[in-house]
Chain A
Amino acid sequence: MVLGIINILKSYLIFTIITMLLYAIRHAIFSFNRLYGRQKLYYSDIYDSDLPTISVLVPMHNEEKVLHNCLDALLLSDYNKNKFEIIGINDNSTDNTKEILDEYCKQYPIIKALHRDCEERGKPAGLNDALKIAKGEVIIVFDADYRPSKNMLKRLAVAFSNNEVAAVMGRVIPFNHNKNLLTQLLALERTAGYQVDQQARYNLNLIPQYGGTVGGFRKDLVVSTGGFNTRILAEDTELTYRLYSMGYRVVYANDAECYEESPETWSARGRQIRRWSRGHNYTMFLYFGKTIKNKSLKFWEKVDAIMLLLIYAVPFILLLSLLASLILFYSGHMDILKGWWVLLFLSTYNSYGNFAPFYEISTGMMVDGIYKGMLKLPLMMFCYYFYLWKLSLGFMDSIFDLFSKRSVKWDKTERFNDNRIETERKEEAK
């Protein structure tokens, strides 16, 4: 009996090592491809005079600190004003979001307000309501803390000239990266996540992911498949997999760069990633089988889709392996592979130090030409256990959601509103 348990634990440890190595190899391939491979260009060189009508949705919940940044930026857009509308979704806000949004609506007819005062709150529910009144053929979503550039809407909308494209995703860059250590580390992660990970997946014809903001999708496709599932917190991941299961493709626009506000406190970041993990893992439970059976995906697309689905389950696997290795240690069996079990920790840090391993981050920084933050890479070590814990909690939440059928509650990320950019602009104007 005891020997059986020991063997199971040893097998589990080896399984973890193999899993980690697979992820390490995956990220190494992405890094190599991004640094040396041929880059697949987005539709950036195409100038289409007949761009589709678009509805820009801006979900808001207590966004009084940042709302004006996003709306002001959208109003400066060079998109044909007869072809786009902005819908601000005020989702049960308790601060002055409603008043500010109404004020904008009065001043600018292009902006419409959708005030939601109901029990079912959250981004997917808000988007579903907005889809009912949206007139555009294409829906583009920005979170309220984002600051799209003047030509952002054109850059995103042009992709839909291709009928096979069902969704598009732009690049996210934190503007408050110099605020503190956390925002600096998040900027590193973002660099790897978009400049390397998303672009390499697009290069290799794998699965670029629609990220829920700085991106768009065809309205008719989403509406015809029942809109967004309000029980899923990661509506972006769910939409990506839904579109792929229908045989459509998501494209990644690396040159459609948009600034966002990163969380500035560890507690806000902790809540954010726990929510992501919960939503992503719930999607994983729903789509794991469907992805394996999906005939429209090629072999490597399928492999990448499965690895992407499992990415938020990895910290939980690691946490269990840490416990397993403790048990094996106390039972006198830690000499597994003659002390080479070290590979577990090496590959762990390699492949899941954080959302991206260190070599992927450095590749992204090299391509971006950023070297000042490079020395902060070792500090990612502190994030390792933090993410391990928070993402594992998110995984447990998703299991509970799956079996209990409890309704999910949207835990909004706290906003901080760094006004330095506005202040600098005003000073420059003076």
Chain B
Amino acid sequence: MKNILMSIKIKLKKNNFRVGILFLVLSIFMSKLYFELGLINRIILLFNIGMYLMISGYLLINDSLIRKTGKSLIYPFKIITKIFFKKKFLENINKLREKNTNKSKIYYSRTYRHLKVNYLRMAIFFIFFVIPSMILFILSYSDISRYIVLMVQNISANYINPDMMEVKSSYFLPFLGDLYYLDIKGFLPTQNISLLHIVITVVLGIIIRFSFRNQMHVRIYLLVVLFIHLTSALYMYFGANMFPYTLSDYSELYMKQQIGIWLSIFSIVTLLSGAINYSGFSKFVFVIAASIYSLIFGIIRYCVFLGIMHNFSLIFMTSFFFSFGPFIDFLYLVWMYSIFMRYITKRFNNKNGVVKWYWA
């Protein structure tokens, strides 16, 4: 508890301007969605915007006060602590502060060092940022999917006849509205095309089997990708008429899957960053960047996949599903996470960060 109070004070002083601006931008961005939502969603949205504006206002005022007078609004916290906590406790906080500032220059070695957990900071992050954002997303997925589908329809009109596309909706989650997807015509490959795919895949497989001698990991990866495509080509050759999906089915499944991916990515990203005891701007940047990237990547991939399957048959569906589906989503998630963790690791090993480690 003593760490919590101290860290709130120190960290807010440093970052309140940047975080304040972030909340302001978020509230402006969210306010643009107001007219597009239903009644319940509007109430939730207003609640969120209000909360974000309050946080933003508090932080910005606090920042200007610190700049002008050197004192911050966080000062009332001290009065509260004096009322609720004993004198000895406050002395301990001061001792802890002294310990942090006058720490020996010989820092702890890596073997048994660790950080102190700050549950309050985690709770604030989840209560004020993660949970409202997730609720907002879940309540708005129907609208989001509609926007995405309309966007994809516009983009795809460049290479697909607009008459062959139609926006449709289907039931997804109870009480939360339908999910929109693009109904689009596709076609099954002919036997000759399937045979051609079989031959090309097998030949490529043989070439790859005997190449990449020193890069066995790449060889196995490519062979798995080819194997998945080969199963598709064989299926289409021997039983194309039994193929259970149309392009429209795929389109619907893709959107359902994407909603799952977006929610998963957002929850994983927030869990990962929320677990890091660091109150910097980078945590928000990481979460927002990963979520936006995921959204944009999902839209681009939707356009590309639909375009390829519409123009070059459904033979690619299996590969798109298994080789270039969620597996790739996780690739960029890990990539972004690695950038975030690189930054955090650097911070915890510089002059100011290294004193935050504790021993055993």
Instruction: Give me the interface of A with B, judged by CB distance under 8 Å.
Output: 31-32, 34-41, 182, 195, 254-255, 257, 265-267, 270, 322, 325-326, 329-332, 334-335, 338-340, 342-343, 345-346, 349-350, 358-359, 362, 365-371, 374-378, 380-386, 389
Q: Mark B113-130, 1 if CB is under 8 A from A, else 0.
A: 111110000000000000
* Contacts known (A38-B360, A375-B338); A342 close to B326, Cβ less than 8 A: yes
- A339 vs B249: C-alpha distance in the bound complex, in angstroms? 12
Q: List 8 A-B contacts (CB under 8 A).
A: A32-B275, A38-B360, A266-B214, A266-B215, A334-B253, A375-B339, A378-B338, A386-B217
Complex contact A326–B228 (CB within 8 A):
yes
Tell me the minimal C-beta distance from B321 to chain A in angstroms. Answer: 7
Q: Does B38 contact A (CB under 8 A)?
A: no
Q: Which of B117, B215, B259, B331 contacts A378 (CB 8 A)?
A: B331
Complex contact B334–A389 (CB within 8 A):
no
- New A-B pairs, 17, CB < 8 Å, besides A41-B360, A383-B217: A35-B277, A195-B110, A254-B112, A334-B253, A335-B256, A338-B256, A346-B330, A358-B337, A359-B272, A362-B338, A376-B338, A377-B335, A378-B334, A381-B221, A382-B217, A385-B224, A386-B220
Complex contact B235–A267 (CB within 8 A):
no
Which chain A positions have C-beta within 8 A of B272? 359
Q: Which of A340, A369, A384, A389 contacts B260 (CB 8 A)?
A: A340
In the A-B complex, the 5 residue pairs with the smallest Cβ-Cβ separation, listed nearest first, are A332-B244, A339-B256, A266-B216, A36-B117, A371-B345
Residue of A nearest to B277 (CB): A36
Q: Mark B245-273, 1 if CB is under 8 A from A, else 0.
A: 10000000100110111001000100010
Complex contact A366–B334 (CB within 8 A):
no
**B interface, over-half SS:** helix
Residue of A195, A330, A375 with highest tally of chain B CB at under 10 A: A330
Complex contact B111–A254 (CB within 8 A):
yes
Complex contact B244–A378 (CB within 8 A):
no
Complex contact B231–A36 (CB within 8 A):
no
- A36 vs B360: C-alpha distance in the bound complex, in angstroms? 10
Residue of A nearest to B118 (CB): A36
Complex contact A342–B264 (CB within 8 A):
yes
Interface size counted on chain B using CB atoms at 8 A: 58
Which chain A positions have C-beta within 8 A of B115? 35-36
Residue of A nearest to B265 (CB): A346
Which chain A positions have C-beta within 8 A of B275? 31-32, 35
Tell me the minimal C-beta distance from B227 to chain A in angstroms. Answer: 9
Which chain B positions have C-beta within 8 A of A335? 253, 256
Residue of A nearest to B317 (CB): A329
Which chain A positions have C-beta within 8 A of B114? 34-39, 367
Complex contact B214–A265 (CB within 8 A):
yes
Which chain B positions have C-beta within 8 A of A326? 228, 231, 318, 322
Q: Does B88 contact A (CB under 8 A)?
A: no
Tell me the minimal C-beta distance from B74 to chain A in angstroms. Answer: 25
* Contacts known (A36-B117, A339-B257); A366 close to B348, Cβ less than 8 A: yes
* Contacts known (A326-B231, A335-B253, A339-B257); A366 close to B344, Cβ less than 8 A: yes
- A359 vs B274: C-alpha distance in the bound complex, in angstroms? 13
Complex contact A362–B337 (CB within 8 A):
yes
B:294-351 near A, CB below 8 Å: 318, 321-322, 325-327, 330-332, 334-335, 337-339, 341-342, 344-346, 348-349
Residue of A nearest to B257 (CB): A339
- A350 vs B269: C-alpha distance in the bound complex, in angstroms? 12
- A35 vs B348: C-alpha distance in the bound complex, in angstroms? 12
Q: Which of A40, A342, A368 contacts B257 (CB 8 A)?
A: A342
Complex contact B112–A255 (CB within 8 A):
yes
Which chain B positions have C-beta within 8 A of A340? 256-257, 260
Contacts between the two chains (Cβ within 8 Å), count: 158
Which chain B positions have C-beta within 8 A of A31? 275
Q: Does B292 contact A (CB under 8 A)?
A: no
Q: Does B218 contact A (CB under 8 A)?
A: yes
Tell me the minimal C-beta distance from B160 to chain A in angstroms. Answer: 23
Q: Which of A40, A182, A371 contacts B346 (CB 8 A)?
A: A371
Q: Which of A41, A325, A376 contacts B112 (CB 8 A)?
A: A41
Complex contact A381–B264 (CB within 8 A):
no
- A346 vs B272: C-alpha distance in the bound complex, in angstroms? 14
* Contacts known (A345-B326, A346-B330, A369-B349); A338 close to B172, Cβ less than 8 A: yes
Which chain B positions have C-beta within 8 A of A39? 112-114, 359-360
Complex contact A381–B327 (CB within 8 A):
yes
- A402 vs B260: C-alpha distance in the bound complex, in angstroms? 42
Which chain B positions have C-beta within 8 A of A38? 114, 360
Complex contact A36–B322 (CB within 8 A):
no
* Contacts known (A265-B214, A330-B244); A374 close to B345, Cβ less than 8 A: yes
Tell me the minimal C-beta distance from B42 to chain A in angstroms. Answer: 27
Which chain A positions have C-beta within 8 A of B216? 266-267, 270, 386
Tell me the minimal C-beta distance from B180 to chain A in angstroms. Answer: 14
Residue of A nearest to B172 (CB): A338
Which chain B positions have C-beta within 8 A of A334? 253, 321
Complex contact B256–A366 (CB within 8 A):
no
- A200 vs B110: C-alpha distance in the bound complex, in angstroms? 14
Which chain B positions have C-beta within 8 A of A378? 331-332, 334-335, 338
Tell me the minimal C-beta distance from A25 to chain B in angstroms. Answer: 11
Complex contact A332–B245 (CB within 8 A):
yes
Which chain A positions have C-beta within 8 A of B344? 366
Which chain A positions have C-beta within 8 A of B359? 39
Residue of B nearest to A199 (CB): B112
Tell me the minimal C-beta distance from B250 to chain A in angstroms. Answer: 10
- A39 vs B111: C-alpha distance in the bound complex, in angstroms? 9
Complex contact A380–B334 (CB within 8 A):
yes
B:192-238 near A, CB below 8 Å: 214-218, 220-221, 224, 228, 231, 235
Which chain B positions have C-beta within 8 A of A182? 217
* Contacts known (A267-B216, A345-B327, A375-B339); A358 close to B334, Cβ less than 8 A: yes
Tell me the minimal C-beta distance from B266 to chain A in angstroms. Answer: 12
* Contacts known (A374-B338, A375-B338); A382 close to B221, Cβ less than 8 A: yes
Residue of A nearest to B224 (CB): A385
Complex contact B321–A329 (CB within 8 A):
yes
Complex contact B325–A345 (CB within 8 A):
yes
Tell me the minimal C-beta distance from A391 to chain B in angstroms. Answer: 12
Complex contact A367–B261 (CB within 8 A):
no
Tell me the minimal C-beta distance from A305 to chain B in angstroms. Answer: 24
- A25 vs B167: C-alpha distance in the bound complex, in angstroms? 40
Residue of A nearest to B232 (CB): A330
Residue of A nearest to B223 (CB): A385
Which chain B positions have C-beta within 8 A of A40? 360
